[in-house]
Amino acid sequence: MTLQEFFRGLPPAALGLSGGVDSALLLAAARRSGADVQPYFVKTAFQPAFELEDAQKVARLCGVPLTVIELDVLAVPQVAENPPDRCYRCKNAIFSALARRAADDGRTVLLDGTNASDDAGDRPGMRALRELGVRSPLRDCRLDKAAVRRMAKELGLPVWDKPAYACLATRVPTGQRLEKGLLRRIERAEELLMQMGFSDLRVRVLGSTACLQLPQDQLPQAFGRRQEITAALGALFDGVLLDLRPR
């Protein structure tokens, strides 16, 4: 099945537009197919600001308004406590909020950007998608990440080569309570590093210390600029470590 075949005859649908390449391709393909698909961005404390900005760029390029849903996901105790199944609880809360808004807008089908490269056995959030009846066209059409990027590039989408970006909550060890202030510090630390020219990175939390994870080819640069990095992140964390195991 192709995406065009998937969208043929599809009822009015709501798409969770994350700001990444997968859901961006879905929106562009839906528009090209003439399907009635409305993009929604569920804004929580777990996403950095640039994700919303990228989602807005994609929506504008596709000529469709983006609906932003504000969700205080930290108000859900099972999420804020950061248990082992946090991803499942969070995904359930996000797509439940999307489902309620979509129903108010007369949209009965929910779509997400899960692709064929995503391992269902390793993604607790996929259980929530199944339970809520969310459809994943890229997965159904057997489009893996490489195919998604190729197609997105052909369509001129600005996020075609954007690195995968897990939510900010993944930087905090399981069992450590998630707080908005901590998440904002992580976001700011990663923003500062990206302004220095680093990319595809993670700032993970070890107690009150930041642990930087970078790709192999960026490790020498990070070590050479360690004083600059420590000075930049020193106001956010008590200490800064560099993980010598590359991402």
Q: Which residues of 42-80 are buried (b: 16+ CB within 10 A; e: fewer)?
A: bbbbbbbeebbebbbbbbebbebebbebebebbebeebb
pLDDT given at position 222: 96
pLDDT tens figures, 165-217: 889 999 999 999 999 999 999 999 999 999 999 999 999 999 999 999 999 99
pTM of the predicted structure, to 2 decimals = 0.92
pLDDT given at position 125: 76
pLDDT given at position 124: 72
Spell out the domains of the chain, with CATH numbers in brackets: 3-154 (3.40.50.620), 179-242 (3.30.300)
pLDDT given at position 140: 93
pLDDT tens figures, 2-22: 999 999 989 999 999 999 999
DSSP for 56-71, written as a single string: HHHHHHHT-PPEEEE-
3-state secondary structure of 115: coil
pLDDT given at position 165: 87
CA distances from 183 to 74, 81, 215, 221, 232 (A): 11, 14, 22, 26, 17
Are 210 and 233 in contact, with CB atoms under 8 Å apart? yes
Instruction: Compute the CA torsion angle 148, 151, 152, 154 (nearest 10 deg).
Output: 160
pLDDT given at position 119: 66
Q: What is the mean pLDDT of each run of 10 residues along the chain (247 residues)?
A: 92 96 97 96 96 97 97 96 94 96 96 85 76 94 96 96 92 96 97 96 96 97 96 95 93
